[in-house]
Each structure stands twice: as structure tokens, then as C-alpha cells.
Chains A and B, each alone.
Chain A
Amino acid sequence: MAFARIANFLSFIFLLMTFLLIIRNSLAAQVRMFAMQSAVLTALAGVVAYFGGRGELAGVAVVFAIVKVIVIPSVLNRAVSKIGMQRAVAPYLGTSMSMFICALLVVLAFYVMAPVTSSNPLPTADGIPLAFAGVLIGLFTTVNRRRALTQILGFLILENSVFMVALLATYGVPLIVELGVFLDVLVAVLILEVFVYRIKDNFDSIDVKKMGALRG
């Protein structure tokens, strides 16, 4: 079962990238990790297209490569260099504590996804909990981080992971939905980029914690 082995391996690398993204504290490195994570996702789409006999996924892989490996990382890189901040400010919980929580989330992912994995006849099923762990870690990262830009990265991990689950569990969702979601995510990132600049201009900081004017 070469297909199963490759899919498992890619899921593992995908999760590894997620962890690396959390550990690294240079923003540029975090963006690079995101791009590599997206590349893994693209590779998986290609693999499923080839072994699973889903020709249209090859097209999805191409769109994926353009949007998530090239366009979004370069937008984020531009933001990183423009706001002139190289290091990510420490999150609410430190790195070692975050790692510990993320490890727990991986265990939780296996537990939550048990009904999906056990009933799934596809050869890719074993990777599902690993991908779903990315959903939980992405959610945690978004909540745990202070800077607007790093929150956006958390959201993007989350987004990638949902796609990963979809690929592994059902060989992807119907094409029109897939394309619609790409469009939404791309527009969301572009809008968020505008926000990063404007928050920076207005507060001279993109530390979300300092945005405290709205309470109660």
C-alpha cells in the first residue's frame, strides 16, 4: 500500500511543520514554515489525484500551490518586512507550555476523530487524526498569540488543516466548493494584511493586547 504509506508520511510531515511554526520565533521563519506546510498539502492533493483517481484534484493542487505556497506567503512576507518587525512577541503561554498543550491536543485529536477514522474505508484514513490535530493547534495558536500577524498565521494553520482532513477523509470536497473557499481565504488574508498596516499606523504596535479601548 504505497498510497497509504505516502499519505501517512505526508500527514506526519504536515503536523511536524505545525509544531515547527510554533517553536520558531522569527516571523520570517514562521511564514516559511507555513509555506512548507502548504507545499505538503499540495503534494497530498497531487498524490490523491494520482492514486485515488481524482483527476480534478490535480487542478486543485495547482491552484493550491499558487495561492497558498506562493501568493499568501509573499503577502505575509511583504507585511513582515514593511512593519519592520522580525521577531514575534512572546505569546500568552511560553514555548514549552505551548508545546505541552499542543501535544495534549494531538492526543485529543485521536480521541475525537476515532469515529471518522474507524469507519473510513479509504487508505488515507490513518492520517486524519494528525491533520485534525492541526485544526486544534491552529485554534489554540490563534487564541494564544498577541500580534495580529501571528494570529493570522494561526488562522491559516487552521484553514490548511481543515483542507487536509477533507483530503484524507473524502478525497476533498466538490470542486466548486473548494474553489470558493480558496477565494474567500485569499480575500480574507488580503484584508487582514491591510489591517496589519493600519493597526500599525494607528497604534504603532500590532500587539492585540494593547487594543483595549472596547470593553464591556
Chain B
Amino acid sequence: MGMMLILLLTIPAAASALIGFSRKRETIEWIHAIASVLSFIAAAVIAVTIWMGQEVIQWQLLRADALSVFFAAIITFVGAVTGVYAVGYMRLDESDPARIRIFFALFQLFVFTMLLAVTTDNLGLMWVAIEGTTLATVFLVTFHDSETALQAAYKYLMISSVGIAMAFMGTVLMYYAAAARVGEIGLSWTSLIGVAAQLDPSVVKLAFVFILIGYGTKAGLAPMHTWLPDTYSEAPAPVSALMSGALSTVGMYALIRFKSVIDITLGTAYTSTWLMRFGLLSLGIAAAFLVSQRNYKRMLAYSSVEHTGIVALGLGFGGYWGTVGALLHILNHSLSKSMLFILSGSIRLKYRTTEIRGVRGLLGTSPWTGAAFLCGVVALLGLPPFGLFISEFMVFRAGFEAGAPGYAVAGIAFLALAFAGMLAGINAMLYGKPAGDLDRSDPLMWHIAPVALNVVLLAGLGLTFPNGVRAFFDQVLLIVGVSH
């Protein structure tokens, strides 16, 4: 099965290289679309293998367990949906062929770096891959080549690089703590977890602070989130969708990996306290910016900060429901946010603006896009019958159970504030009369089929929690050290 893991990484890497050498636009599009879908199939095969009972798949530095495949599946699914959409979206772009080629090559390279980050056993290599995600995305963000995009990309690169340097400091400290016990392989997660109980607690505490700040920057935790609204709002829609749906989860993955080791050394109280603080702060800051937001892409971006906060709260509350809630919330958020960013691209094509003020009567002017947008927003706001309702419920319930009612109550209050703020903006966009004379048609139909898939999955996660899924989460919980 090691072959499967190699294949998973080879698909996007090879696609990126092939696209780089291709000249014809049609060839590029086919390679890109096929690779995007194949990556997902490969990840699904690995996920099923692990679900069927093979705990670990390993080959040299590569290693996949239930936690890895959970994230690999999210990354490749969002990658497939946005990848297919990107083909249609880029056809409307009149850039010269060389730029189109670079766009698709970097897109695949981006997917590759994310997959490498979640399927390597070596925490140092994971760092290298996560820094790689930043480098691969910079020119995707500036693709529209406007002044504001340039500013956003510079800010993104600078803040992410400095943030991730903090994570490297934390990684070095963990290595220092472990190298004394196990030597050279001290950066392998498997060997780290084996010696976790004997590590020096004061060094590990220090390491966690650096790791939380570093990977928290990547995940979009406040106050390190400042790059995120600019970047998500300036990047082309497929790129924002992939970044919000997949990249932020990679930051969370890194945090969860380290947390699983550190909790053995220190007990859960230490990491929990920090995660709850940062989580609540993220929720609060996001809510404040959501109340008066005038730009719908920035609104979606701040909502990402909000949901990252909920995930951090869930991990902080811990226990069975807190952790399962956090993991489910990561999945739900990825599904809903990626589809909303995809749709935001179509809205922008229709109305030629990203200001909420400029978008009126969306349900009337583009019925399919509008209806899908409505579904996505209802899901994102945490309303039934969609999955976010369930996962938010799990997280806050865990807060009361874990004896942190203060955090839970404050979190729910911020959630309500964010809800009200977003609802006002979204409501104005969906109904009313458009300012100009717009014909009744959807600007793009490419995305409707893949996006419908997101809606079905979100509804499924909201209405059911099948035994099979539950069993899979039990496997994940075993890895992160949460007992039933």
C-alpha cells in the first residue's frame, strides 16, 4: 500500500511538471482536471483502506494514518471541486497562454505541498511542505495583477513566512527535547509519541507556544490572521476557495499533530487553555469585523477566522465531543466555504464588483448561482439541516461538559453577533432589485454540478452520523489520544 501513498503525491507533482511543458491550452486543462479528480480518488482509496482496518500506511518518510487521510481527503476533494471550476473560470480570463500555464502548474504544485504536509511522518519535512504551500500560492494570489493584489500577496508572504519561522523555532525545541532520548529520528512523529512521556515539560511548553503562533498564522487564528482577509479577497475565486477550504485545514492539522504529542507530556490542560484563548479571540475579532463588513469576499474571509476560532475552541474543550466536533467542523467549514468562494467568483463576474452594496437581487438575476449561494450561506451560518449546525452544537456542548462555561457562553454570544452581521449583508445581496439592467442568466454553469456535491455532503453531515463515520472518527481519536 506504500505505492498508493507515493501515487497520491506523484499525481499532482507530475501534473504540475507536465503542465509546465505543455503548449496547448486544451492539453493543460485536461491534465489539470484529470489530475485533480485522480488525486481525490487516490486519497479516497487510501482512506477506505485505513477505514477497513489497516491502521497505518508507511513508506520511508511518508506515513498515513486516519488523521492524515481525513485531511488528505478534504484537501483533494476541495482540490477536485475547485480544480474543475478553475478550468471554466480561467476560460473567461484573457491572459496570455504563458500565464494560464503557470496558473495551473502552481495550482497542482500547491495541492502537492498540502498533501505532502499531511502525509509525512517527519515534522521537519512537514514544516518544509507548509512553507512550500505559501511559496506556491503567492503568484496565484497576484494572478489578477492589480495593485491591491500585489499588496495582499506581499503581506501574505511576509506574515506567513515570519509566522512559520516561529513554528520552525518550536519544531527545533521539540527536536531538542526528543533528540536527547531518541537521537536523529527525534523529528519523526512516531518516535516522538513513543518518548513523549519522558520529555522535559518546561521545554515542551515553550515549544508549544511557538508552534501555536506559527501554525496558527497559517490556520488563520487571530491575532495572526491579518493577512487572510486581504489575500482571500484579492485572489482569483478558485484560489480563494482552495486556500480557505484546504490550506487553513493544513495549519490545523499541524497543530493537532503536535498537540497529540504535547498532551502526553503535559496533560491536556496546558494546550487546552492556549487553544481556548486564541479560539475565543478569533471568534470575537471576526464577529466585530463581520458586523460592519461591506465587501462580500472579505466577509467570507472573516467568517473563516470565525470558524477557525470555533475549531480551536473545540480542540481546547477536548474530550470526545469537543474533538469530534472540531474535526467535523473542519470538514463542514471546508465544504461550505470553498463552495461559497467559488460562487463569489460567479457573482463577481455577474455584477463586476465585490461590494455588498453593488449586489442586489441575486436570486432573480442568476437563479442557479443564487440558490446555491443561499444553501451555502444557510450552512455556513450554522442553520439546520446542514452539518455546521451539528458540529457547532458538539463543540459548545463540550465546552459546558469540560467545565469551561465562560468560554462556551462568550463563544455563543460572538457566534450570534457574527450571525446577525452576515445575515444582514447576505440578505441584501439575495433579494431586492439590481441597480443596472441585468439579464436573467447564470454567468457560469461549470460549478453547479461540483458545488451541488458540497451541498449534498453538507446536508448528509447535518442529518446523519452513520456508524461507519463514527468508527472512522474513533480511529482518529485514538491517534490524537482522546479516549471514548
Whether A177 contacts B125 by the Cβ 8 Å rule is: yes
Could you mark each residue 336-372 of chain B with 1 if its beta carbon is under 8 Å from any beta carbon of chain A, else 0?
0000000000000000000000000000000000000
Whether B131 contacts A155 by the Cβ 8 Å rule is: no
Interface flag for B413 (CB, 8 Å): no
Residue from B151, B173, B234, B289 within 8 A of A211 (CB atoms): B151
Whether A162 contacts B172 by the Cβ 8 Å rule is: yes
A99 CB, nearest partner CB in chain B, Å: 21
Whether A169 contacts B148 by the Cβ 8 Å rule is: no
Interface flag for B162 (CB, 8 Å): yes
B160 CB, nearest partner CB in chain A, Å: 9
A155 CB, nearest partner CB in chain B, Å: 6
**Given A162-B165, A176-B124 in contact, is the A214-B148 Cβ separation under 8 Å?**
yes
Residue ID in chain B nearest A206 by CB atoms: B154
A147 CB, nearest partner CB in chain B, Å: 12
Q: Secondary structure of the A side of the interface?
A: helix
Listed from nearest, the 6 A-B pairs whose CB atoms lie closest are A177-B124, A180-B128, A115-B202, A184-B131, A211-B151, A166-B172
Whether A158 contacts B162 by the Cβ 8 Å rule is: yes
Cα distance A111–B172 in the bound complex, in angstroms: 18
**Given A166-B172, A195-B153, A214-B152 in contact, is the A181-B162 Cβ separation under 8 Å?**
no
Whether A162 contacts B168 by the Cβ 8 Å rule is: yes
The interface residues of chain A lying within 8 Å CB-to-CB of B229 are: 214
A174 CB, nearest partner CB in chain B, Å: 6
Whether A191 contacts B122 by the Cβ 8 Å rule is: no
Other contacts beyond A174-B184, A176-B61: 8, CB < 8 A: A116-B206, A139-B162, A162-B172, A169-B173, A180-B128, A208-B154, A214-B151, A214-B233
The interface residues of chain B lying within 8 Å CB-to-CB of A181 are: 124, 127-128, 131, 168
Whether B176 contacts A169 by the Cβ 8 Å rule is: yes
Residue from B61, B128, B147 within 8 A of A213 (CB atoms): B147
Whether B147 contacts A173 by the Cβ 8 Å rule is: no
Whether A142 contacts B61 by the Cβ 8 Å rule is: no
Whether A213 contacts B151 by the Cβ 8 Å rule is: yes
Whether A184 contacts B200 by the Cβ 8 Å rule is: no
The count of chain B contact residues (Cβ–Cβ below 8 Å) is 50
Interface flag for A83 (CB, 8 Å): no
B215 CB, nearest partner CB in chain A, Å: 15
Residues facing B in A45-88 (CB within 8 A) are none
Residues facing A in B215-235 (CB within 8 A) are 229-230, 233-234
Cα distance A116–B65 in the bound complex, in angstroms: 32
**Given A184-B132, A188-B135, A195-B157 in contact, is the A174-B150 Cβ separation under 8 Å?**
no
B77 CB, nearest partner CB in chain A, Å: 27
Residues facing A in B224-273 (CB within 8 A) are 229-230, 233-234
B199 CB, nearest partner CB in chain A, Å: 11
B399 CB, nearest partner CB in chain A, Å: 30
Residue from B139, B168, B173, B184 within 8 A of A116 (CB atoms): B173
A70 CB, nearest partner CB in chain B, Å: 21
Residue ID in chain A nearest B135 by CB atoms: A187
Q: Secondary structure of the B side of the interface?
A: helix
The interface residues of chain B lying within 8 Å CB-to-CB of A159 are: 165
Cα distance A144–B200 in the bound complex, in angstroms: 34
Cα distance A142–B159 in the bound complex, in angstroms: 9
Residue ID in chain A nearest B148 by CB atoms: A213
Whether B157 contacts A135 by the Cβ 8 Å rule is: no
**Given A173-B124, A177-B127, A180-B128 in contact, is the A195-B169 Cβ separation under 8 Å?**
no
Say which one of A3-11, A36-44, A90-98, A196-204 lies at the interface with B. Answer: A196-204
Whether B122 contacts A176 by the Cβ 8 Å rule is: yes
Residues facing A in B127-178 (CB within 8 A) are 127-128, 131-132, 134-135, 138-139, 147-148, 150-155, 157-158, 161-162, 165-166, 168-169, 171-173, 175-176
Whether A184 contacts B135 by the Cβ 8 Å rule is: yes
A104 CB, nearest partner CB in chain B, Å: 19
Whether B150 contacts A173 by the Cβ 8 Å rule is: no
The interface residues of chain A lying within 8 Å CB-to-CB of B233 are: 214
Residue ID in chain A nearest B302 by CB atoms: A216
The interface residues of chain A lying within 8 Å CB-to-CB of B202 are: 115, 119
Interface flag for B7 (CB, 8 Å): no
Whether A148 contacts B154 by the Cβ 8 Å rule is: yes
Whether A162 contacts B169 by the Cβ 8 Å rule is: yes
Can you give 18 contacting A-B residue pairs, CB < 8 Å?
A: A142-B162, A155-B161, A155-B162, A162-B172, A173-B172, A176-B124, A177-B128, A181-B168, A184-B131, A188-B135, A191-B157, A195-B150, A195-B157, A202-B147, A203-B147, A214-B152, A214-B230, A214-B233
Could you mark each residue 157-178 of chain A with 1 if its beta carbon is under 8 Å from any beta carbon of chain B, else 0?
0110010011001100110110
Interface flag for A30 (CB, 8 Å): no
Residue ID in chain B nearest A152 by CB atoms: B158
The interface residues of chain A lying within 8 Å CB-to-CB of B175 are: 166, 170, 173
Interface flag for A151 (CB, 8 Å): yes
Interface flag for B1 (CB, 8 Å): no
Residues facing B in A114-151 (CB within 8 A) are 115-116, 119-121, 135, 139, 142, 148, 151
Interface flag for A107 (CB, 8 Å): no
Residue ID in chain A nearest B128 by CB atoms: A180
Interface flag for A112 (CB, 8 Å): yes
B157 CB, nearest partner CB in chain A, Å: 6
The interface residues of chain B lying within 8 Å CB-to-CB of A211 are: 151, 154-155
Residue from A115, A120, A158 within 8 A of B165 (CB atoms): A158
A177 CB, nearest partner CB in chain B, Å: 3
